[in-house]
Amino acid sequence: GIALMQFDLDLNPIDTIVIPEDPEEREGFELRNEDSHLMAGIPFQPGFRWRLAPDGTLWGMLDEHYRFFQLTPEGDTLLSFTREFEPLPVTEADMDQAREDLEWFLQYGGNVDWSKIPDHKPATEDFFFDDEGNIWVIPVTTAEQDWQVVEVFDPEGRYLGRIDLPFRLTRPYPLIRNSVMYAVVEDEMEVPYVVRARIEKPF
């Protein structure tokens, strides 16, 4: 497994945190020959993500179920919650984009089983934390939507509400301090720039 190590200011190790692993096996498109080994992800296949929270606990998210769980640094489960959602279908436009994204793999001689692409998209895309430990979840939305929907939960997993940001987020995901968001976004020409936005929360 993979672990995070914490060091003091003199670079002496003081703690080790075991990273949670995906509880489900994921498929991929694979190309093996004498000279190389290439892997390509299956478009719209759900996955697993983890983040280190401000309080030192670890959170995992299963995309297909909109399911979260909180773990201690030792790996013990503290909390788990899910949220209902309506899965979005994979459209023909989505398939066109998938074919374009996998063109590199085909050019190397890889084979793609298009039947393995799911009929529906995962529930969530990613998540991050603010300085109060609230969980900001990015649900999967349609590609035509030019604003960002974010759903917010408190550290106990209670749903706080939805925020419609007037821009779409790109990685790295925002830094939120004292109700101010610092985020990297892209304009129509895909040029990145930094925005500073004040968050007025009704909760």
Q: Would you list the DSSP string of 137-152?
A: EEE---TT--SEEEEE
CA distance 97 to 116: 15
pLDDT in tens, 24-38: 888 999 998 777 789
Task: Output 100-104 pairs: Cβ under 8 A, ≥24 positions apart.
Answer: 101/43, 102/29, 102/40, 102/43
Mean pLDDT over 108-117 rounds to 93
pLDDT at residue 135, as a whole number: 96
Residue 19 pLDDT greater than 80, yes or no: yes
Q: What is the pTM of this model?
A: 0.86
CA distance 44 to 196: 31
Cα separations in angstroms, 57 against 65, 72, 91:
21, 5, 38
CA distance 130 to 49: 17
With vertex at residue 170, the alpha carbon angle to CA 164 and CA 176, rounded to the nearest 5 degrees, is 65
Under 8 Å between Cβ of 143 and 96: no
Enclosing H/E stretch for 66: none
CA distance 45 to 28: 9
CA distance 160 to 153: 5
Confidence band of 144 (pLDDT split at 50, 70, 90): low
Token pair of 165 as six digits: 């940001």
